Structure 1
């Protein structure tokens, strides 16, 4: 699905390149928004299909740089609110500035900072709680 979204992103960019206005948004922010919207569209259309075939098994092997701490953070990220996760991923993993991330999410910088604060608190509570096992 990721490959399909990536391909459709570039097709849309090619078809709608004239719609991008320099000075209105950075090109990479616009591209990110196109890809994000396509992901949201796919999630909205997602339906459960009953089939006799088993899906491909996901590779359960840890990523080369993902230790136990990395896995815990990834698990916690999956459990927080989607908009909070999106804000955290854009700022901390994709290294966007708050202004760039707010533009990609189509929210104000204040709203982005609020999402980040709530997301960090949620992650902290989950990670501290998970460490008590």
Structure 2
């Protein structure tokens, strides 16, 4: 059973079957948000998602980066990502029309950032999530 159903801009419904939410900077003990830290965080999220999904496709929605007018430290200017990191596993009907609908589903793991911990549902989700090109990024799997 899905946690929620999201309707992409293309009209394709996709089921959110697993969702991991975390504070983007919850584990930062020292320093400040900056490009090197953010790039390491994103790379780690992608590695973790690829490992967890056992070779299934993983897509990063590039996060919005803000540059508040604050003192730049030794690692460059302050660069802030949205507060909540999301890793979601989505499933939908098979991409290949020749696949038996009872035996195949398409799947995609998506990594994105958002300002709140709201669970995406219906057409109420970050616009970049709704714009995911499912047909290009997802892959079919046999159940």
TM-score, normalisation: structure 1: 0.26
Question: Which structure has more RCO (C-alpha within 8 Å, separation ≥ 6)?
Answer: 2
TM-score, normalisation: structure 2: 0.25
More strand by share: 2
More helix by share: 1
Structure 1 or 2, whichever has the larger Rg, is 1
